[in-house]
């Protein structure tokens, strides 16, 4: 079956592109010669992929990492498309999204009656999807708010004046209108969920690169993860766990943001000899805003010491 590959072109706002490789409609009979051809093709793709990785690094400052198991031929297609899109963007000009969509007819939000706004928003969404544009709303908003955002803000957003087959542009409302409390709450909840699952690792994006510990020293994210994994190895599982986030706050000084979340949690830690140890108490998280991202740089959790 076809495999859809996704990647993000860096920028202020998310623009996610999808490439869908086409399958041959004819079924090829399996023969030894075909196997040899396929092996040669895979090996040639591997060699070219190494060259493409160097080009991506040199021209775009990007490191290409792929999910294990993706065939070299698909990696090859993926990297060729990244280069093609970046080169097209460098040659092209910027226009607003409304012009990119060929200036579609639409009514302004204040011209639409309440009983018709859902229909107009649905029609607007369908038009965007037909043009390979997806707008995501993480929070819960009414159709009028979403319609107004698209027609009065997103339509004025600058985009590259080119398109590539199979490319989808993906915009997120909260990139334009951040909900900092919701982001901090989500980051805290995601980290605690991973803690109870004992799945925190070096790829856990909730943690900052540097972590402050109680004696005010700074340790690396890697050291922090190692300490957490050492704790996880002391137990076979965590059970009967729950948490409640009671308070979330944040403040900005110029462009630097500081966030805070606190609440209570409880969980059972099961040892190898089936001993149950109950942990319960308050937790605290301190976060910093790095560009557009909140990350945890200090935390306290019952049963764990940094």
DSSP string, 103-166: ------GGGS-GGGHHHHHHHHHHHHHHTTEEEE-SS---HHHHHHHHHHTGGGSEEES---TT
Give the span between the Cα atoms of 261 and 187, in whole angstroms. Answer: 10
Q: Report pLDDT digits (tens) over 233-266.
A: 999 999 999 999 999 999 998 888 999 999 999 9
Q: What mean pLDDT comes out for the span 96-115?
A: 97
pLDDT, position 18: 47
**The overall pTM is greater than 0.75:** no
Q: 179 with 139: CB under 8 angstroms?
A: yes
% the chain with pLDDT above 90: 62
Class for the domain spanning 180-300? alpha beta
Q: How far is CA 44 from CA 40, 41, 218, in A?
A: 6, 5, 46
Q: Report pLDDT digits (tens) over 36-76.
A: 456 677 777 778 888 887 877 777 666 666 555 677 777 77
Give the span between the Cα atoms of 254 and 241, in whole angstroms. Answer: 39
Domain map (residue ranges) of the chain: 5-91, 94-176, 180-300
């Amino acid at each position: 079956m076809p495999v859809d590959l996704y990647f993000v072109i860096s920028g202020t706002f998310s623009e996610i592109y999808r490439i869908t490789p086409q399958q041959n409609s004819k079924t090829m009979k399996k023969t030894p010669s075909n196997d040899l051809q396929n092996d040669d093709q895979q090996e040639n793709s591997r060699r070219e992929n190494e060259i493409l990785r160097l080009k991506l690094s040199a021209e775009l400052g990007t490191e290409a990492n792929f999910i294990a198991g993706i065939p070299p031929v698909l990696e090859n297609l993926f990297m060729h498309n990244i280069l093609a899109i970046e080169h097209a963007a460098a040659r092209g000009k910027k226009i607003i999204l409304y012009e990119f969509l060929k200036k579609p007819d639409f009514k302004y939000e204040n011209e639409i009656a309440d009983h018709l706004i859902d229909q107009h928003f649905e029609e607007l969404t369908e038009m965007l999807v037909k043009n390979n544009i997806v707008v995501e709303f993480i929070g819960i908003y009414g159709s009028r708010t979403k319609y107004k955002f698209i027609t009065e803000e997103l339509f004025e957003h600058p985009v590259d004046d080119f398109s590539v087959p199979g490319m989808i542009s993906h915009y997120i409302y909260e990139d334009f209108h951040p909900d900092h409390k919701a982001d901090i709450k989500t980051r805290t909840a995601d980290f605690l969920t991973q803690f109870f699952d004992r799945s925190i690792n070096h790829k856990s994006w909730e943690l900052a690169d540097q972590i402050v510990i109680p004696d005010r020293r700074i340790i690396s994210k890697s050291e922090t993860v190692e300490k957490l994994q050492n704790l996880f190895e002391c137990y076979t599982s965590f059970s009967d766990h729950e948490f409640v986030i009671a308070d979330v706050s944040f403040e900005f000084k110029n462009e630097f943001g500081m966030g805070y979340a606190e609440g209570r949690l409880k969980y059972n830690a099961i040892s190898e000899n089936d001993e149950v140890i109950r942990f319960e108490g308050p937790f605290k998280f301190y976060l910093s805003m790095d560009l557009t991202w909140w990350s945890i740089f200090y935390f306290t959790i019952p049963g764990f010491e940094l």
